[in-house]
Amino acid sequence: MNEPIEAKGISHCSVFDSEKSWYDLLSDDEKILIDKHSVSISFKKGETVCKRGAFASHIYYMEEGLVKVYLEEKNKNLILMLAIRNNLLGMAAIFDGNDKLPYSVTAYTDSRIRMIDINIFRQLLKQNADFSFHVINLLNEKTAQIYGRFFSLTQKQLHGRLADILLCLSNRIFKSKSFELPLSRADLGDLTGMSTESVIRMMKEFKDDGLIGMHCKSIELLDIARLERISEFG
Amino acid sequence: MNEPIEAKGISHCSVFDSEKSWYDLLSDDEKILIDKHSVSISFKKGETVCKRGAFASHIYYMEEGLVKVYLEEKNKNLILMLAIRNNLLGMAAIFDGNDKLPYSVTAYTDSRIRMIDINIFRQLLKQNADFSFHVINLLNEKTAQIYGRFFSLTQKQLHGRLADILLCLSNRIFKSKSFELPLSRADLGDLTGMSTESVIRMMKEFKDDGLIGMHCKSIELLDIARLERISEFG
DNA sequence: AAATAAAACTGCGTTGCATCAGTTTTATCT
DNA sequence: AGATAAAACTGATGCAACGCAGTTTTATTT
């Protein structure tokens, strides 16, 4: 089994990773329409893609890169999810009344994002049922992941939450046991609902216990089986 | 402004309340199809509607009643949301590969739920774009609410979370400042991510502070403005 | 109506984790 | 390359909130 974490307990992952392309479901005319009413924009590492509360005139399609989707209020931050290639963001604004973005988005790495006119997108959803069926699947998958993360953040304690996020980064984003972390410890905190200091302490603990290898930003998962057990038992 | 909580900060509500009817978007033929391939079932208070992990062969449409949608694992419970009339549950299984229910559902009050064959539902989504567009809106609304609750549960402390849920129950479910609570204190705990004892203590505190009135299961919100401030400041 | 079970409640000890106030390291700027 | 800023890290302290173990109240059963 490839992803035992998913199979057993409640999924906790915070990355949305879709391999299928909705673009292929469009007719030639519809593709032309999309192309005409969208632009591809490059964002540099650290740049803000959009801010919560802003007027939502576009759907964001991630062509390349890694971004965080987050809420901020006062000094409290929460990263809702990390998004990579093939993600659609800003879908909440599809709903007619709902013209404000419900979250902010910032690029972790250089990213290319196609901004699609929301009215065109809405029109396509209304006229192409195959397309909107696909979008429904995307939304459902996203919802399922959110539920899992919800469980992780509310029911597990720090060890479990950190194990969750490390496994998630490895499985879903970098698809490798070792990777260069583009997020700061503070970001990991916002992602796991723990303080920056606790992230640091816990990471060191994991390192001392031989669960992970770590030199600054480069992380390697050494004992995945034990990380999974920590994830499971909270 | 009717719902200042929603307007200001991040929405926190855990009830999904849709007034629009998707049924009207179907053609006569499609209505007949649905009617033929669905049954309406009555559940008594406390009865289990479905369990997580079970094979998902139906979409659940709530015709009447109040249910909890929840995850349970070991001794840890999390109520994902409360659902009332007009809700569609089990949508996650629409996704082709995804044939297992991702959550359990239990009735709080006597409820009538229409169980719709999932293949028929899927077929209608694929053939009727107006219908699936509407479903997309429902899912988006749900997602937005989940995000708000996510924020509430991970960033606020007990006072704020309890205030959130009380306001939510009042605004969204009972639509009245006073109501008979069908949930136990333990359920409130599962809903707010706090222990049963803490729910009890905090409720008493709210009562002593004149924020709410309370005799056993009957609750009355006395100082909504202050509850909202507590909700906002965590 | 008595017996039993299940919630609701109370007080107390414990602890997980945040917060604060620093120091050291790494990155960025000029 | 040196200066400045931003992360990364460390240790000490305090408290929010949990879990326990018990009592009281409310429901449910026979």
In a domain, B59, yes or no: yes
Considering CB atoms only, which of A91, A143, A193 is closest to B92? A143
Domain membership of residue A128 (yes or no) is yes
Q: Give the whole-angstrom CA distance, residue B230 versus residue B202.
A: 12
* Domain assignment of residue B53, yes or no: yes
- Tell me whether residue A1 is in a domain: no
Give pLDDT, residue A20. 66
Distance B6 CA to D16 C1' (A): 27
Pair (A126, A182) in one structural domain: no
Strand D nucleotides, any atom under 7 Å to a protein CB = 7-12, 16-21, 26-27
Judge if B162 and B112 occupy the same domain: no
CATH number at residue B121: 2.60.120.10
Determine what percent of chain B is predicted with pLDDT higher than 90: 74
B133 and B191 in a single domain? The answer is: no
Give how far the C-alpha of residue B183 lies from the chain's centroid of Cα atoms, to the nearest Å.
Answer: 13
Q: Do A146 and B147 touch (CB under 8 A)?
A: yes
**Whether the predicted pLDDT of B216 surpasses 50:** yes
Footprint of strand D on the protein (CB under 7 A): A 184-186, 196-197, 200-201, 203-204, 214, 216-217; B 157-159, 193-195, 197-198, 216-217
Q: Quote the CA–CA distance of A51 and A10 in Å, as a whole number.
A: 31
Q: Give the distance, in angstroms, between residue B203 CA and nucleotide D24 C1'.
A: 18
Whether residues A46 and A81 share a domain: the answer is: yes
Residue B142 belongs to domain spanning: 15-148
- The answer to whether the predicted template modeling score (pTM) of the entire model surpasses 0.85 is yes
Residue B1 lies in a domain: no
Contacts of B161 (CB under 8 A, 6+ apart): B152, B153, B192, B193, B194
Among the three residues B148, B173, B205, which one is the final residue of a domain in this structure?
B148
Query: Total structural domains in chain A?
Result: 2
Q: Checking DSSP bridges between strand A76-84 and strand A15-16, what pairing results, if any?
A: parallel
Question: In B23-165, at which residue ranges do the beta strands (DSSP E only) sit?
Answer: 38-43, 48-50, 58-64, 66-73, 76-84, 88-89, 104-107, 111-117
| Furthest CA-CA distance within chain B | 58
Q: Are residues A139 and A165 in the same domain?
A: no
Distances (CA, A) of A123 to A60, A117, B24: 16, 10, 20
Tell me which residue in A10, A129, A193 faces B127 most closely, judged by beta carbons.
Answer: A129
pLDDT (0 to 100) of residue A1? 37
Q: Looking at chain A, which residue has its C-alpha nearest residue B136?
A: A136
A5 lies in some domain = no
For residues B54-64, give the mean pLDDT.
Answer: 93
Query: Is residue B3 predicted with pLDDT exceeding 50?
Result: no
More confident residue, B21 or A32: A32
Crossing angle of the two packed helices A158-168 and A129-155, in degrees rounded to 10: 150
Chain B residue numbers touching A121 (CB-CB < 8 A): none
Strand C nucleotides, any atom under 7 Å from protein beta carbons: they are 7-12, 16-21, 26-27
In a domain, A131, yes or no: yes
In a domain, A9, yes or no: no
pLDDT, one tens digit per residue, over B7-51 is 346 667 766 555 568 888 999 999 999 999 999 999 999 999 999
Residues of A in contact with B103 (CB under 8 A): 147
Sheet arrangement for strand B111-117: B38-43, B111-117, B58-64, B88-89
Nearest CA among B113, B6, B85, B101 for reference residue B53: B101
Give the nearest nucleotide to B215, CA to C1'.
C8
Residue B208 belongs to domain with CATH number:
1.10.10.10
pLDDT digit string (tens) for B115-164? 999 999 999 999 999 999 999 988 888 888 889 999 999 999 999 999 99
pLDDT tens by residue, A181-197: 999 999 999 999 999 99
Q: Which residues of A touch B59 (CB under 8 A)?
A: none
Residue B4: per-residue pLDDT: 35
CA atoms within 13 A of residue A89's CA, in its CB half-sphere: 32
User: Which of A125, A148, A171 finishes a domain?
Assistant: A148
Contacts of A71 in chain B (CB under 8 A): 10, 147, 151
Question: Which of A115, A148, A181 is a domain's end point?
Answer: A148
Cα–Cα distance for residue pair A33/A40, rounded to 1 Å:
15
Whole-number distance in Å between B198 CA and C9 C1': 11
